[in-house]
Every structure is written in C-alpha cells, then in structure tokens.
Structure 1
C-alpha cells in the first residue's frame, strides 16, 4: 500500500492544560475524511518534553497517567507482544465478527502497529485512527491511517455513531474509570458496530502447582496488582470487563481466553513458540513494565527493584516452573435499533 509521512497531529483538547497549538491543514485520506468540523493540531514542544525516571523516558502529555516508558526499548516490547498476539490468533488481528469496517479506532495504539496492520488488511477503509498519550508512531504510515495524541478518558470529539470497530488492547493499569470509557466507546460506535477489548489476567498461574505464592514471579504479579490499587488504575480487570460491556449497552457479548506460557516449557509447538517470545519480552521488558509502579506507589528504591528483578528472572528461566498467564478477548456489538 502507498504510504504517507505522518504529521504529528493531535485532535483538539478542549481543556486549558492541553499545551497544543498550531493548525495543520489536512493532507491525507484520513484527515480529509475527518473534515474540518474539529480542528487538527500539531504536537507542541510540551508534548515532546518527556520526563525521565531511573534511566527511562516517559510521556509528557497527561504526565504519570501511564506506568510504562515510551522509549525505543519499550516500543520494541510492544511490537514483540503484537507478534505474540498474532501467533495466538493464527495471524488474525481480532476475534470480533467484523467484515469490512470503514471507520476503525485503536484506543491506546502505542507504536501504531495494530492500526497499520488493519489499514493494510482493509485498504478500502476510510479511516483508521490510533490514539495514544505518546507520539511514538512511525513517520511513514498507510494513507488512511491517522494518529492522534489524546487521553481516551477525556471527552471524545468524534461524531456519535461514527466508528464501525473500536479496539482496546492492554490498557490495564492505565484506566481510572473503565465503565465510563466503555460507555464512551458505545456512544461513538455506529449501530451494528463492534468493540473488542484484549487484556491479560494477573497473577500468573500454573496447572501443576510449580508456580507457588512464595515465588518471586508470583510476588511480582501481586506487587503490580497492589500498585494498581494504590494508583486507582487497576490491573485486575479480567473478571469485570464482560459485565462492564453489558452495562454499557453492548449485546451479543463474547469471551475467550488463551494461555500464554512463560518460556518454552510446553510440548505443544505453537505454545512453545509463543512461550519463547513471551520469555524474551518479559526478561528484556520487566524494567519498563513495573519499575515506575514499584518506585512511585510502593516506595521501593531503584537498587531494591533491580535486586528483586534478578530473582524474578531466575524463576522465569527455570523451566521446571510451568507458569503462564491468560490472555482474554471480549467482543460486543452495539445493537441496531428496531423500527
């Protein structure tokens, strides 16, 4: 597909602390389709005025709202997880029964890799929008892709009943009010459109009892859960999403979960491959996944964090511990009104 350079654009934030200014004329299919009802603005220097903690770079817009860094190392982890998700679904990008969505929204797009893959899969889609707190998406993107720096929990400026498909993946620990977010998705989803939410379950599990509650790996998960409780942005959402979707008004709800091993211990070839990638990502990404949580909310010192990580990594690479987490997928449809 023909690609275009991405203008670092964001949708107008109507609150005074947005720090966004400067009109940019529409230059892509996506921008042209969105029209001029809402202005599009370039990323100001304040958005790029990143903060640094313990040697890692974090987002400036809505500073502190998200726990993970936005540097190159973390971007690599996000892209590896995208590959893991593709392996889990046999190359599919979603589980919802969509056919030819014209307007697609990826909430918390990260590096934008899912949005770009969707644009390639559906080249006739009018627009694929990816929103995130960080402008870390690539410069060259498909012509119907549009990235915006935005806070998903702020009021959306899109038209109501606009999108055919809304995708949310791995925002646990980042959202203050999940029911409100899902209600906002419902408001802006067209009748007959679908939403899909993808989140993993903590703590990790084992079927044979080799992952016990006194292991460092299990405690690592518990500390993440504790930090989420203290921050107000919970990590334990997998037992609630189905109900939240129903309360928001979605129907034809579907749920499935898949096992994601930590390491190549499974005998099944597919699970073994998934486990290898997952282990690699956890070993290299552990620092980014939880250091801010441990230091900000549990008052750990950086030296204590790194010593703890050493013990966690030792258990992750111990193939006698058959640990895994469950990746959950939910899909729901906005009903079509009856005449």
Structure 2
C-alpha cells in the first residue's frame, strides 16, 4: 500500500464488505463513493470475460505498442489482475506493479515478478518520476472521480520514462446499434441514459471519448485511438467481432446488472423491482441479433516524448 497520497486506511478496513441486493460491495468504496461495482465472484468472472474479449480485439496481444523488453510496467485499476498476470508471464524479467482499491478482487497467487498494491488511484501517484517503461489503465471510469481525470493522466505522464508508452482503455456504456434499430424508448437506450445520468454525479461516464484531449494537455505525443465494437450478441459478419462476441456477450449480460445496480437504485432512487425489470428487458434486446447492439471500447495509446525532461 501507499503508492498514492490518497490516505487509504489499512488493509483490514479495505477488506470489509457490505451486502446490497444479494451482491457484495467493498464497504470503504461505498461509504466514500469511490467504486460502485460489486467485488464478488460473479464480478470477477465478468472482469475475466471482458479481459478475454479485449485480448481478442487485440489479436491476442496485450498492448498495441510493441514494447520490446520493458523494465517496469504499471497496471492501474487491475481488478482481478488478469492483464497484469499475463504481462508478468510474457515479460518475466520485467518488474510489474498492479494497483487496485479492492483487495477482494485480487488473486492469492501471482508470478514472482508481479507486485499487487492496494491503493486509491484518486490520490496523486508517489511512484518516482520517469520510472516505468509502460503504463496500462483499463476500465477505471467507475472508480475515478470526475475532477481527478486531468491529474490522473498527468500522473501517468510523470511516472513514464521518456519514450515510454501508455495505453488507456475504457468502455462508453451508451448502447448503439449497427443498423439503427435501437429507439430512444428501447430498454437498452433507457438503461444507457439512466446509467450515464446516475454516474455523472461523481464520475465521468463519457471519459472514453475525452481521453485524447487529456493526453495532449499532459504533454503526450503520437496519440492514437482505436475503437472496437463489443457485440451484445453474435450478429456481426466480421470474423474478429464474431470471436469477440464469444466472451463479450456474457460480460455485457452481467454488466447490465452489476454496473447499473448502484447508480440506478441508490443514486436515482429507482426501486429494485423496476431496475430488475429494466435489466431483464435490456438483456432480451441485447440478445436479439436483429438489433445488432454493441458498446464501444475506446483504446488510446500515447508516448511520452523521448526528449521530455
């Protein structure tokens, strides 16, 4: 612990949980409105499925930039640590550090070159400047406060070595249709609107679309974005998207409930019965291949200039 100045309590406190609507949450995150998703086995399975879907999108690669032999890697918001474990195994001579606020999500056994750090990314990084060869950040929008993002990206810039790369990946949970069949009153559209409305009180649920400007302001160069469709059913004729759907379908079915439960019921006051009905209807629409529904995954890469001080 202790790689940011967030002042998080000891691990014993962070391991305390609370049950809400038959799901398990980290008490500290709920009390401090840090992270609104569950931390139970079902959520770990969702994270693992999403990791596989993203890995397929990258044709089996962990990164878009070719890293060569990195010395040090930082994984921000590692969740169940699937990416960090894969990175540690791929680069056995590399020192990999992975940070997350929820110890409930972390595995008990990891490669010897991987260090798991329990900390809050909303605090300023205390890692040394120009220390890491590569920084990976994935699906942290639900845990980063809206007013933290600019300095979060600046922190990533500062701890990177000159010439080092970063890769930031976020889902934009605004349901889309490849054939325009999602009406504004559809369950998926209503879920998306409600999620965005409930989350934006403290978070920035649209951050996936804004990272390019933040990377530029922080001083990064070679900024690029790739957008991948995460299909909600096996509707696509594209070979890659068909393979992505094999894991993204289950991840999204689970996500519609787990990611939405707190913003809908606690932040907006929707009854549990009404929320569950909305999720039921949204799942039915998502499974319908005729709707060609998907969420967009934005994957940003950028490089700290080699001439940076």
TM-score (structure 1 length as normaliser):
0.85
Cα drift, residue 314 of structure 1? 1.4
Partner of residue 211, structure 1: 182
Cα drift, residue 239 of structure 1? 2.5
Q: Is the 8 A contact 1:13 1:150 kept in 2?
A: yes
Q: Which runs of 5+ in 2 are unaligned?
A: none
1:54 aligns with 2:7: no
1:7-40 CA deviation, whole Å, 9 max, x = no partner? xxx236656x6332xxxxxxxxxxxxxxxxxxxx
Partner of residue 109, structure 2: 140
Query: Which has the greater radius of gyration?
Result: 1
Q: Is the 8 A contact 1:59 1:133 kept in 2?
A: no
1:266-323 CA deviation, whole Å, 9 max, x = no partner? 1233322322322222223422111011112111111111111111111112221111
Q: Is the 8 A contact 2:46 2:250 kept in 1?
A: no
Look up the SS of the partner of 1:11 in the other structure: coil
Partner of residue 117, structure 1: 86
Look up the SS of the partner of 2:13 in the other structure: coil
Distance 2:180 2:255 in 1: 26
Pair 198,148 (structure 1): closer, same or farther in 2 beyond 3 Å: same
Partner of residue 57, structure 2: 88
Distance 1:338 1:298 in 2: 45
Name the structure with the higher helix share.
Answer: 2
Cα drift, residue 62 of structure 1? 4.0
User: Cα RMSD over matched residues?
Assistant: 1.8
Distance 1:130 1:336 in 2: 25
Distance 2:213 2:127 in 1: 25
TM-score (structure 2 length as normaliser):
0.93
Pair 205,13 (structure 1): closer, same or farther in 2 beyond 3 Å: closer
Look up the SS of the partner of 1:161 in the other structure: coil
Select 1:79's aligned residue among 45, 48, 54.
Answer: 48
Cα drift, residue 112 of structure 1? 0.6
1:201-247 CA deviation, whole Å, 9 max, x = no partner? 231222321122221011111111111222x2011123210010000
Distance 1:286 1:326 in 2: 14
Select 2:242's aligned residue among 260, 267, 272.
Answer: 272
Partner of residue 99, structure 2: 131
Q: Which runs of 5+ in 1 are unaligned?
A: 1-9, 21-42
Partner of residue 40, structure 1: none
Partner of residue 195, structure 2: 224
Q: Is the 8 A contact 1:61 1:133 kept in 2?
A: no
Look up the SS of the partner of 1:131 in the other structure: strand
1:291 aligns with 2:282: no
Cα drift, residue 47 of structure 1? 1.5
Look up the SS of the partner of 2:174 in the other structure: coil
